[in-house]
Amino acid sequence: MTVNGSVLFFNVRNCAKINSHIACFDKGEIFLKYLTLGILAHVDAGKTTLSESLLFESGMIRKAGRVDHKDAFLDTHDIEKERGITVFSKQAVIDYGDMRITLVDTPGHTDFKAETERALMVLDGAILVISSLDGVTGHTAALYNLLKKYGLPVFVFFNKMDIEGSDKSALMEDIRAKLSGSFADLSGGISDPEIQEELALCDEGLMERYLEGKELITGKEAAALVKKGALNPCYFGSALRLEGVRELMEGVKEYLPERKYSVEPSFKVYKIATDEKNTRLTFAKITGGSYEVKSVVPEYGEKIEEIRIYSGKGYENIKEARAGMLVAFTGLKSSKTADAVGGGYDEVRHTISEPVLRYKVISKDGTDPNLLLSRLRKLEEEDPALHISWEEEKREIQICLMGQVQLEIVQRLMLERFGEHIDFMQGSILYKETIADTVEGAGHFEPLRHYAEVHLILEPLEEGSGVVIDNICDNDLLAKNWQNLILTHLTERTFKGKLTGSEITDIKITLASGKAHLKHTEGGDFRQATYRAVRNGIMKAKGVLLEPWYDFELTIPEETIGRAMTDLSNMGAEFKLSENKTDSKTLIKGLIPAKEGMNYADELKKYTKDEGRIELNFAGYKPCHDEEEVISEIGYDPERDLRNTGNSVFCSHGAGVIIPWYEADEHMHLPSVLVKQTEDEQKPVNIRRSEGVKALSVDEIDAIIERTYYSNRKKAFKNVRTAEMQLRSTLKDEADVVKGESSPRNDKYRDREKQQKVRPGYVLIDGYNVIFSWEDLNELAKLNIDSARDALLDIMCNYRGLKEEELIVVFDAYRVQGHDTEFLDHNNIHVVYTKEAQTADSYIEHFSHEHARHYDITVVTSDKTEQVIVLGAGCRVKASDDFRTEVIRQVKEASEEYTGHRTPSVNSMEGQFDEIILN
């Protein structure tokens, strides 16, 4: 059957059933179970090929298409055929026995991960396709974790098993080692004793029954395990050769139970699209009750014109959509992706992928910006991952997206849909900001005959938390209607940070108090006060610049490890070597800033001669690895941004007066609500010292660092508030800031901000490694190890006098029974003796991983393994011999500068070694 020239999805192998399908579909007399099943995989795993095989095996198509032949049933767009990848999620209908499956084929490319995530909102289960050639990759693991986050049953299909070298047992070991959960090969059923044992391990009750030797575990019990996520059935085959496909379908039929639905009408929108006639389509999963053609959806106040069931390009019009069906509505103009309509669907699911790139959009055809913006908004409606914005200050349209491939797709769609030729300029990373401390933000808006005051508490949250709004305001202090208005204003827009003007995130904003005037307060007054209060708090807090990071897996030939590790260190990556993938390939895993890693594939191909491969997966926003450089490059001045001002407006002598943000607290009409403990937090940590050794745990190292770094800055730190207020008093109002003139206040304020970003430096020395690497000390150690250790400490004391970094020498004490970590001061350096069963290597590695983000750490060692580990943590490494050369050079230079001549026993390191050894 065809509609508009498109082949529909009725079973072509049994034409006698076609009419009964058509006649009985609306009555629901044919299918006992409706399921929505997604197919997910990393690129080139054979996902679309498996979809074709499932359609063919079930009799829904006469011939299985191929991606390389450009005739795949589900790759319907020209872009997909040209590129050979899935760009848009598609659906196809499979009738298998008494079951109707709506198969959803999702994109595998990371640029379109958001498209995949939207499809997960309506799935009952998923097939995760894994190539037997690649095994479980980083992208595979990310998809599996995403499915588990959504609570979806997962079936695993190992594809391309026809290729020589594919090993079932090796693949099962690989997936069990890399992914959480239970995996069992159910391709031969569940009656095998080994499979029965594996199933029993998934549930305590089943295990007890199994040990007692009672009846076998049934298919229904296995289905219950799959439903609650305790079991992931695995199947093996070749989608291209139709091997293992029928076993997979039988497994889905047997072990994937139908979801229970409410009788109350409801649906979940997962996609907005348009057809060839530009008709707006709302793709939705019916999650309760039913909807009929011409019925009105109360939530939208709009009528359903048509109900379509799509399969590939074709579709069938039906009169009624019932629970479990995946349909497309026409006639709904107000629907949006992720809408949950009605009360029968109580699950809340959100996408987590975020755009990482920002571009300026320009029209090659000279189209009016307003028209161009409206056209881009239509694409954004269909793909919410496209963040389209109009930047009023720059008078330009900006687009935020995931990657270069998505950029090209947008260009193509604009040309096809609207005949619009667009280009992109000024590509840059999409930064975000957060705060590092808890502050109170206050905003007051009181021009003549207006009044509103708002007090907010701003607190930092964990990575990925977004913006959380809370309310602790007393109703006796501020009426509930005003409170609700303030909360609305907090959620109606995004707020900018003070470092680069980027969107603020990972922050909790709590409404603490506020004040209105019985006569003069209007709704717009609280909008102004709220915006100013947020900005006031952001200006007070210590800002943190965030950038997007990727999880990466780098597979390279062994002979290129050195080059790869150097590149990764230079790019600010955090990494570690993993097991060899083959005898000649090495795997490196870690985190890398998106700015550095997104274009590394081209460089990788060059120096590995196309043998290397890097796989990137979005890991979220984390602190920027080159914050100062980015801030300087962007050049954002928060005090000149009057659209996002933290200043307040007070009434004085009948006129509005602008009070700068740093003085506004003194003029507020309400008292501060935040109990500040700044003075207690600024006090240095007092650690008792003694002539002997002081035992100290590793967890207390932060206190030691804080004490040693800030000990000489305490006085200046206490007086910084006084100094700031004296400098800021020269600024009279916001107009002075707009002029952009240099002033002592502005210069010193920027200097103070810059000083706060300077990271203290630490040098960690592997004591015994250095002793046995330096020839002089090694010879001394042969006579007396204690003398060699004391000699090294004396040399380090001299060296420390010439350097600004704190210096810590670490010695092994791991063989001393009952010994705990000891920390003591030796003149101007620190000495650590490790606890029992802990080597100096492990102590240094632990220290590096814990503190590399906050301190500039250099590790001195010649141990190659330790060097790799601390490099992966983001620290610098210096070999022991190179360090000896540096120490000698530093002492010589200092000697020549201050004395003008050389005295071997004092100014020459060689002489100093001789002196120590002779004594």
Over residues 616-626, the pLDDT tens digits come to: 888 889 999 99
What secondary structure does DSSP assign to 351-372, as a single string? ------EEEEEEETT---HHHH
Please say if the pLDDT value at position 632 is more than 90.
Answer: yes
The per-residue pLDDT for 18 is 30
Q: Hey, how many other C-beta atoms are within 10 angstroms of the C-beta on 810?
A: 26
> What mean pLDDT is reported for the chain?
80
Give the Cα-Cα-Cα angle 486, 488, 492 (nearest 5 degrees). Answer: 125
The per-residue pLDDT for 844 is 86
Reading the block at residue 513, the tokens are 């108090």
- At 13, the pLDDT band (50, 70, 90 cuts) reads very low
- At 352, the pLDDT band (50, 70, 90 cuts) reads low
The per-residue pLDDT for 733 is 39
What CA–CA distance (Å, rounded) separates 340 from 342? 7
The per-residue pLDDT for 234 is 95
The per-residue pLDDT for 686 is 38
- At 675, the pLDDT band (50, 70, 90 cuts) reads low
Cβ(858)–Cβ(877) below 8 Å:
yes
The model's pTM is: 0.62
Section 36-57 average pLDDT = 88
**Percent share of the chain, pLDDT over 70:** 81
Closest CA to 402 of 650, 183, 553, 618: 618
Q: How far is CA 616 from CA 142, 298, 552, 620, 872, in A?
A: 10, 44, 5, 12, 17
The per-residue pLDDT for 717 is 33
Section 116-126 average pLDDT = 88
Report how many helices (DSSP H) and strands (DSSP E) the chain contains, helices first. Answer: 32, 42
Over residues 830-876, the pLDDT tens digits come to: 898 887 767 888 888 888 878 877 788 899 998 877 887 788 777 88
What secondary structure does DSSP assign to 735-749, as a single string? HHHHTT---HHHHHH
- At 602, the pLDDT band (50, 70, 90 cuts) reads confident
The per-residue pLDDT for 848 is 82
Q: Residue 164: which residues within 8 A CB-CB, separation 6 or more?
A: none
What secondary structure does DSSP assign to 108-120, as a single string? -SGGGHHHHHHHH
The per-residue pLDDT for 21 is 31
Residues in the chain: 919
What secondary structure does DSSP assign to 785-796, as a single string? HHHHHHHHHHHH
Reading the block at residue 753, the tokens are 């901000």
What CA–CA distance (Å, rounded) separates 472 from 456? 10
The per-residue pLDDT for 816 is 56
More confident of the two residues 839 and 482: 482
The per-residue pLDDT for 895 is 65
Give the helix, strand, coil percentages of the chain, each rounded to 5.
Answer: 35, 25, 35
Please say if the pLDDT value at position 498 is more than 90.
Answer: yes
Over residues 764-779, the pLDDT tens digits come to: 999 999 999 998 888 8
What CA–CA distance (Å, rounded) separates 227 from 194? 21
**Percent share of the chain, pLDDT over 90:** 32
Over residues 725-748, the pLDDT tens digits come to: 333 333 333 434 334 444 444 444
The per-residue pLDDT for 268 is 92
The per-residue pLDDT for 505 is 94
Range scoring the smallest mean pLDDT among 431-440, 674-683, 748-757, 790-799: 748-757
- At 544, the pLDDT band (50, 70, 90 cuts) reads very high
Section 344-355 average pLDDT = 55
The per-residue pLDDT for 473 is 93
Measured torsion, CA atoms of residues 195, 199, 205, 209, in degrees rounded to the nearest 10: -10
More confident of the two residues 575 and 919: 575
Please say if the pLDDT value at position 684 is more than 50.
Answer: no
The per-residue pLDDT for 583 is 57
Phi, psi angles (nearest 5°) of residue 876: -90, 155
Please say if the pLDDT value at position 915 is more than 60.
Answer: no
The per-residue pLDDT for 624 is 94
- At 721, the pLDDT band (50, 70, 90 cuts) reads very low
The per-residue pLDDT for 32 is 66
| Exposed/middle/buried for residue 367 (C-beta within 10 Å: 0-12, 13-18, 19+) | middle
The per-residue pLDDT for 258 is 81
What CA–CA distance (Å, rounded) separates 397 from 426? 12
Reading the block at residue 527, the tokens are 């909008």
Closest CA to 551 of 605, 610, 604, 614: 614
Range scoring the smallest mean pLDDT among 129-133, 168-172, 208-212: 208-212
135-149, 202-216, 440-454, 583-597: which is most confident: 440-454
